[in-house]
Structure 1
Amino acid sequence: MLIADDPVRAFMPYHAIPVASAPEGPLAGMTLAVKDIFDVAGYRTGCGNPLRLAASPIAETTAPAVQALLDAGAEFAGKTHTDELAWSLYGLNPHFGGPINAAAPDRITGGSSSGSAAAVAAGLVDISVGTDTGGSVRAPASFCGLWGIRPTHGRVSLEGCMELAASFDTCGLFARDGETLRSAFAVIGGGDTAPLPDRPRLMRPADMVARLGEAQRAVYDAAFASVEASEVSVYPEGGADAAHDAFRILQSAEALKAVVPFLDASGAPLIAGLAERVAFARGLSEDAVAASIALRETVRAKLDEILGSDGVLLAPCVHDAPFARDAGPDMHESFRPAAMKLLCIAGLAGLPQVTLPAGKVDGAPYGVSLIGPRGSDLSLVKLAVALKG
């Protein structure tokens, strides 16, 4: 890392190799951290796994999304921790440990973009790059009191980035305020292909909101108390369970091809959580995958119809605030599916989702979000800033 101190253990302890950035640009004066699944010239790419790190060559080129931020003037501060192979939601890496959530030190940061969220939350950098496949930017943003974006699928280049599940993988960002997030995303995402109108239609996804507890619902209601919104339902037939199952099956099927071969070839030990996910992926049938592809298309068509070109969902991000770092296996087993039943909607539909701070539940940060039409990313951040006031 290139910063003097890292009290929250956000950064990989790589030897500091300076990386050039432009002296001027829209991000000049801002500092940047990068999740260690992106290539940065002069550094290895460890992907949260010690055997992957040992086998990694030193990158000769920098991933285009990261390079764009450097070319816009952002100053590189280092590469950040990630969950193992980016295939988890909690930020608790069994090999390298878990970064500290400065907004709630006794709670998890969330993952897999754990170090990127921790670095911004602690004020160590202004911007950080993460990835979001199933919620790996959105959940940590909510847990750490940050702004975050999962962009329209395919909008930002993932060249030079580890693949987990290509049909869901996205390059996202964290910041402590919405304007910084918007400036940084404009650099890597370009202008909107389908900007929102000045007065978009606002909608509450009633079936998503119904999944919140009393305290979480109170934060959600307070965040959007000043706006009028109609009610809609977004889940497909079979509800949240069907949507979650389809996402899990498709993500697992793609991870089986993208990362499991490395695990097999390397002989890497499979820790709890990862072992179960690999076993689930190995057991998938072609029929289950085909049915999940069909359901994804149904979700995508339904969301496109609901949103049109001017609609925005005032959506919960996750179902709860972050749990305690020392929570037991029961919490680990129950939290992920509950969170994923909310997070999976934007992923299945390939839509942009912006997370913004909203309040606290049980003393820890809890965010809300906006989901917009594909290609509306920048104007969605602008709307979130306006609604936040």
Structure 2
Amino acid sequence: MSGHEESEECEVIAPVGAPPGLLEAFWRYDKALLGNDRPTLDELFMRGPHTIRGDGQALLVGHEAIAGFRSARARIPTRAVVQLHVQVIADDAALLMARTRDGDTTGLQTQLWRLDGDRWVVAAAHVSLPVAPKRIAPFDTTLWRVVGDPLAAATAPGPLEGIGVAVKDLFAVAGHAVGAGVPAWLAEQQPQRDSAPAVAALLDAGAHLVGIARTDEFAYSLAGTNAHYGTPPNPAAPGCVSGGSTSGPASAVALGQAAAGLGTDTAGSIRVPASYQGLVGLRTTHGAIGTDGVLPLARSFDTVGWLTRDVRTSAAVAGILLPGTEAVAVRRTVRLPEVEALARADVRDAFTAAVQGLTESGQLPPAEVVELPRDLLERWFAAFRTVQAWEAWQAHGSWITGHPGSLGADVAARFAQASEVGEEQAAAARELTAAAREQLGEWLSGSVLAIPSASGPAPARSASGEQIEAERAATLRMTCLAGLAGAPALSLPLLRSADGRPAGLCLLGAPGADHSLLTLAAGLEIAP
């Protein structure tokens, strides 16, 4: 095709061939367009009032209007034609469609050419605006460690079809390493060959994994702040911490980026972020779901749990991960005034009003006050923290000793204290936790215990370390009860602080009463 400037990279597709002179005219037009040769462009457009040109923003009618548009054109195209389709309509008419590329953007131009005497001219033209290739939006690295589309697909159809899951970075996910919120730890890990059974069960039930979400360092925190990766957002309380240590999954669910967040709860790591972000958070009965493939913190209290935006979705996940036990009715609602007193005044008032309303309406069984002396609560709490610290150091102390400076100041201080717990001290604490479990088991038998999920709403990100630690200390005295009892605990977004931040009302049931809690919760409503 001598006599024109056809691109060597252009693919010309003309099923019945191109009429003589048409392609030469097209490539002459293209060269003039790239060189802003207005006289040639005017020459190659049909004269008269009916010639048209459109570009998605404006429609120009008439040769003079089109010529006037070109005279004011500031941007000269730099694109190249990479594919040209020729459709012959008649002996004197042909439709040309050209695909163009300019760097990493693509465009499309369509032209109707007519034979005017012995020369081809454009009677109508349309130019599409350049379109950038579809890109995956940058993901929030304070929330996600890795994401996919999906990261792992469902392995079979099932009742959880369409449920996207954010997985806490403690669970084994096939093909990915476990990061535990610690960059130095992650750098030494190898990709997991198999997913943790809890993860695999969700995939087998039709769910898919959206991604692996952040956690506090080795899950030894309740704030959701990570010295290395930052703090995941809290859309329910902007400017406040997310709550931890299942921080990333909670934020993913609250933001609508996942329907469920799979995590762990040792001392409140599901319930606290649920409370701070207005979610439903279930800590399951200790041992009801295996923790194989889950990095431990304190095996005596570690449990698998999840966060959702509603009870129905939580119950659907429970139907897959928990044994198929039937819900058992409860006869009373236990109240512990000494525990309730740990809450901030406005949250305590909201909790008291909510429980009173729910019991008076019959949505919860009648309330009965049980005395838990403050000194006994303190002894139970000290024993819980001692066993937790001992087991946390047994799990990670050797690595931490060999990697000084790898942890943020708050978590490093926690592990430093844990390193000082002796075996005899831990054994004595275990005796007291066993006694606490027995006593709590008696109170929970046929009952539901209602307490605030946390001592207050989510602290501000600007809060001092001392303030956050004070909030943590008060909250742990509440949350440790479920760990001591080995009991299921369900945080429900039923409360508000005085300034409108969400807060949770937590229901504890007897060990094995997970489904009973969900059944009970499905019918709870707070009057406005």
Q: What do residues 272-297 of structure 1 show as CA deviations (whole Å, max 9, x unaligned)?
A: 21222122112223443233112111
Unaligned runs of 5+ in 1: none
**1:298 Cα deviation from its structure 2 partner:** 1.5
TM-score (norm 2): 0.70
Pair 1:195-2:327 in alignment: yes
Instruction: Report the Cα distance in structure 1 between the residues aligned to 2:261 and 2:147, rounded to whole angstroms.
Output: 17
Distance 1:161 1:75, change over 3 A: same
CA positional deviation for 1:237: 7.2
Please, which of 301, 312, 315 is the counterpart of residue 448 of structure 2?
A: 312
CA distance in 2 between counterparts of 1:291 and 1:312 reads: 29
Evaluate the alpha carbon distance shift between residue 6 and residue 280 of structure 1 in structure 2; reply closer, same or farther with a 3 A threshold: same
Q: Is the 8 A contact 2:390 2:418 kept in 1?
A: yes
What amino acid sits opposite 1:283 in the alignment?
E
Task: Between 314-323 and 214-223, report the one with greater CA deviation.
Answer: 214-223
Q: Deviation at 1:3? A: 7.7
Kept after mapping to 1: 8 A contact 2:153/2:207: no
Equivalent residue for 1:164, pick from 290, 297, 302: 297
Q: Tell me the CA shift for residue 233 of structure 1.
A: 2.9
- Give the aligned partner of residue 349 of structure 2: 218
1:356 touches 1:367 (CA, 8 Å); kept in 2? Answer: yes
108-117 or 325-334, which deviates more: 325-334
Counterpart selection for 1:10 from 143, 157, 164: 143
Quick one: percent identity of the two aligned structures? Answer: 38
Pair member with larger Rg:
2
Deviation of 1:16 (Å)? 6.7
Q: Flag the 1:16–1:258 CA change in 2: closer, same or farther, 3 A.
A: farther
Q: Residues of 2 paired with 1:231 and 1:201: CA distance?
A: 7
1:365-384 deviation digits (Å, cap 9, x = unpaired): 10111100100101211111
Distance in structure 1 (CA, Å) of the matches to 2:395 and 2:141:
31
Contact persistence 1:116–1:130 (CA under 8 A): yes
What SS does the corresponding residue of 2:244 show, helix, strand or coil? Answer: coil
Once residues 344 and 249 of structure 1 are traced to their aligned partners in structure 2, the CA distance between those partners, rounded to angstroms, is: 12
Verify the 8 A CA contact 1:90 1:108 in the aligned structure 2.
Answer: yes
What is aligned with 1:114?
A: 247
> Which residue type is aligned with residue 264 of structure 1?
T
Q: Name the CA distance, whole Å, in 1 between partners of 2:268 and 2:371.
A: 18
Equivalenced residue count is 385
- Report deviation, 1:108: 0.5
**Distance change (3 Å), C-alpha of 1:328 and 1:196:** same
Structure holding more strand per residue: 2
Cα distance change of structure 1 residues 256 and 235 upon mapping to structure 2, 3 Å threshold: farther
Q: Does 1:56 align with 2:193?
A: no
**Larger deviation: 62-71 or 280-289?**
280-289
Q: Which of 200, 209, 223 is the aligned partner of 1:76?
A: 209
**Residues 103-138 of structure 1, C-alpha deviations (whole Å, 9 max, x = no match):** 112110110110010000011110110110111001
RMSD: 2.0
Q: Which deviates further from its counterpart, 374-383 or 270-279? A: 270-279
Counterparts of 1:1-389 in structure 2 under 5 Å? 6=139, 9-13=142-146, 18-192=151-325, 195-197=327-329, 199-224=330-355, 225-228=357-360, 229-233=366-370, 235=372, 238-308=375-445, 310-361=446-497, 362-388=499-525
If asked which structure has higher relative contact order (CA below 8 Å, sep 6+), I would say 1
Structure 1: which amino acid aligns with 2:200?
Q
From the superposition, tell whether residues 121 and 296 of structure 1 become closer, same or farther in structure 2 (CA, over 3 Å). same
Judge conservation of contact 1:8–1:118 (CA < 8 Å) in 2.
no
In 2, the alpha carbon distance for the partners of 1:125 and 1:312 equals 30
Contact 2:338 2:373 survives alignment (8 Å): no
Q: Is the 8 A contact 1:236 1:298 kept in 2?
A: no
Q: Shift of residue 7 of structure 1?
A: 5.3
The Cα offsets for residues 287-341 of structure 1, whole Å up to 9 and x where unpaired, read as 4323311211121111111122x21111221111110011112212211111101
Quote how far apart the aligned CAs of 1:23 are: 4.7
CA contact 1:153–1:350 (8 Å) conserved in 2: yes
Q: TM-score, normalised by structure 1?
A: 0.93
CA-to-partner distance for each residue in 1:9-34, whole Å, 9 max, x for gaps?
Answer: 42114677742314521111111110
Matched residue of 1:339: which SS?
Answer: helix
Aligned partner letter, 2:290:
S
1:190 aligns to what SS in structure 2?
coil
The 8 Å contact of residues 351 and 373 in structure 1, kept in 2 or not, is answered as: yes
Q: Distance in 2 between matches of 1:286 and 1:62?
A: 33
